[in-house]
Amino acid sequence: MFKFSFYDGDKSAGSDGDRPTGHPVTRLAIQEHPVPASPLLPSNEVSTLSLCGHQIKLLNGDQVILRLEREGAAGDLSLALKSHTDLIPDVYEGGMKLWECSQDLVAYLDAHVPLAGLRVTELGCGAALPAVFCLLRGAAAVTVQDYNREVVDHLTIPNMRLNVTATQLAGCRALSGDWGALAALLRTERRPGADLVLTSETIYSRESWARLLEAVDAALAPAGSALVAAKTCYFGVGGGTRAFEQAVLEDGRFSSEVVFATQQGLQREILRLKRC
C-alpha cells in the first residue's frame, strides 16, 4: 500500500498525516501568476519523458528545490526539504514531485478524450503533466492551479513553457492557493467554465475534499466532466477512491464512475465526475 512520508518534526503529530500540533491552520490565499508567452529552452535540470507519442520535457523538482534553497527562495518548500518529507499539510502539499497517477491520466486522455479545442483546468497540478499534454493535443485554453506559489512559478509554468508554443501559452492561466479560495475567486469572475477538469493524486486527505469538490464545481462548465486520478488507498491518511466516491455521493452535486483501474504496482483508478 502507498504511504506518504509526512512531516513529523513535532513528535506530537500523528503518523496519520494530521497537521503537527502548533502548526498554523492558515491556508494560502489565491494568487494569479503571469505566464510568459515565450517558450523556454531546456537546461540541465530538464529530462524528457516519452509518453503517448510525445517527448515531454519536465524539470526535475528535487533539483529545482535545491537551487531555490541555494538562492534563498525556497519559501514554503524549505521545511519539506529540510525534513525530507513528501508533504506538510497546509504548508507544502507535494507539488514539486511528479506523481504516478498523472501518467495514468495522460494515458487515459490519449485513449479516450479528444482534447482539441477544449477548455481545461488542472487542479493541484504540481508538474502539470496532464495540462501540458492537453496543450500538446490542441486544448484551446488551459488553467493550472497548485497550492504553493513556488511550485507554480518554478515548476508548473516552466514545464508549460518547455513544451508549447507562444500562441498556446497566451491562452494559459496559472493560479496558486487553496481550493476554497480558488472556488470563491472563480465564482466571482463568472468566466466560461472548463469542459474538462483534471486532478491527479489530490484526494489523499479527507480534510480537503469539501474544498476540492467546491473548486471542481466552480471550475466546471455545466456539461463538463472531471477526471480524478488517484490511488485506491492512501494508507494511514484516510484518503482513496472508495472513500472519495462516498464523499461525492454525500455531497450530491456529482455522479461518479470508475473509468480506469489498474492493479499493476499500487492500485490506481480514474473517477469521472459529472453534474447530477
Ligand X SMILES: C[S@@+](CC[C@H](N)C(=O)[O-])C[C@H]1O[C@@H](n2cnc3c(N)ncnc32)[C@H](O)[C@@H]1O
- Positions touching ligand X (CB under 6 A) are 93-95, 98-99, 101-102, 124-127, 146-148, 178-179, 200-202, 208, 211
| Choice between 25 and 41, CB closer to ligand X | 25
Minimal distance, residue 166 CB to ligand X, in Å? 25
CB atoms within 10 A of CB 51: 17
- What value does the CA radius of gyration of the chain take, rounded to a whole number of Å? 18
| Choice between 35 and 125, CB closer to ligand X | 125
Nearest residue to ligand X by CB is: 124
Distances 237 to 5, 81, 103, 202, 210 between C-alpha atoms, Å: 11, 21, 22, 12, 16
| Choice between 94 and 224, CB closer to ligand X | 94
| Residue given cell 477544449 in the structure block | 118
β-pairing verdict for 119-123 and 141-146: parallel
| Choice between 90 and 245, CB closer to ligand X | 90
All three cell numbers of 135, joined, read 496543450
Q: Please check whether residue 236 is in contact with residue 16, taking contact to mean a CB–CB distance below 8 angstroms.
A: yes
| Choice between 2 and 38, CB closer to ligand X | 2
| Choice between 37 and 238, CB closer to ligand X | 238
Name residue 260's beta-bridge partners. Answer: 270
All three cell numbers of 248, joined, read 461525492
Minimal distance, residue 128 CB to ligand X, in Å? 8
Determine the Cα–Cα distance for residues 92 and 113; give it in Å rounded to an integer: 31
DSSP 149-210: HHHIIIIIHHHHHHHS-HHHHHTEEEEES-HHHHHHHHHHH-PPPEEEEEEES--SBGGGHH
For 12, residues 6+ apart whose C-beta sits below 8 A from its C-beta are 20, 21
| Choice between 23 and 37, CB closer to ligand X | 23
